[in-house]
Amino acid sequence: MSLYCGIACRRKSFWCYRLLSTYVTKTRYLFELKEDDDACKRAQQTGAFYLFHSLAPLVQKSEHQYQAPQYSLLELERLLAKFGQDTQRIEDSVLIGCSEQHEAWFALDLGLSSSSSINASLQKPEMETELKGSFTELRKAVFQLNTKDASLLSTAQALLRWHDAHQFCSRSGQPTKKNMAGSKRVCPSNKIIYYPQVKVWKRLSGEKLQKRWDWRWKGCNTLHPSTGRSLIAHS
């Protein structure tokens, strides 16, 4: 029995170590891509791209579920060339993650006009016909996507939205320039660096949620959903 427990503990320790090692390796690789524009550009050669149009992700319906298709750099270049777009538009993409095999994942919005881009936004119906999918609002498609795609598309949309809202420096008014990975924007005139803001949401327990719900109903003349008319007035 003790021998069996020892083997089980060693196996558990091995898998925990492997999981931690994979996480650390991926984190280091992503950090390298964010800090080195040349490394990020090389990663695009073998990476995969998720497409958006005006912050709506491209999804394809498969039976009762949505799938987020991936496109290689070569496929994306052919697509842009077909619609008369410069391949320089790919530089507007942002890094959103990578696989365990270090395949970098990027997101590109074809419907937003960047301050540094000379190309106009592409027409949505034509793109949907060509790509055999639909640009759907994320809040409508998120519950029909698998966990991986839902997480990636949420991250991508938030990052693309941030870049769209921070195209100009708040101090000088000059256009800011993103790095290759999209992890920051820099104002060329005063060298101010802007980073995407991360909001941390605090998960509340059921008891705290109930207290907040009850507090909102204090002093109301309408019926409380669970206890009827509230008898407590505001102080």
Q: What is the CATH number of the domain that holds 71?
A: 3.90.79.20
Q: Around 120, how many Cα atoms within 13 Å sit in the side-chain half-sphere? A: 5
Domain count, the chain: 1
Q: Is residue 218 part of a domain?
A: no
Q: What is the separation of C-alpha 118 from the centre of its chain, rounded to a whole number of angstroms?
A: 25
Structural domain span for residue 120: 8-210
Residue 217 lies in a domain: no
Q: Is residue 224 part of a domain?
A: no
Q: What is the 3-state secondary structure (H, E, C) of the chain?
A: CHHHHHHHHHHHHHHHHHHHHHHHHHHHHHHHHHHCHHHHHHHHHHCEEEEEECCEEEEEEECCEEECCCECHHHHHHHHHHCCCCHHHHHHCEEEEECCCCCEEEEEECCCCCCCCCCCCCCHHHHHHHHCCEECCHHHHHHHCCHHHHHHHHHHHHHHHHHHHCCECCCCCCECEECCCCCCEECCCCCCEECCCCCCCCCCCHHHHHHHHHHHCCCCCCEECCCEECCCCCC
Render each residue's pLDDT in the chain as its tens digit; 235 residues. 554 455 545 555 544 545 456 788 899 999 999 999 999 999 999 999 999 999 999 999 887 788 999 999 999 999 999 988 888 999 999 999 999 899 999 999 998 765 545 556 678 888 899 999 999 999 888 888 998 999 999 999 999 999 999 999 999 999 999 999 999 999 999 999 999 976 645 555 555 555 555 555 454 544 444 444 433 334 3
Task: Establish if 70 belongs to a structural domain.
Answer: yes
CB–CB of 153/57 below 8 Å?
yes
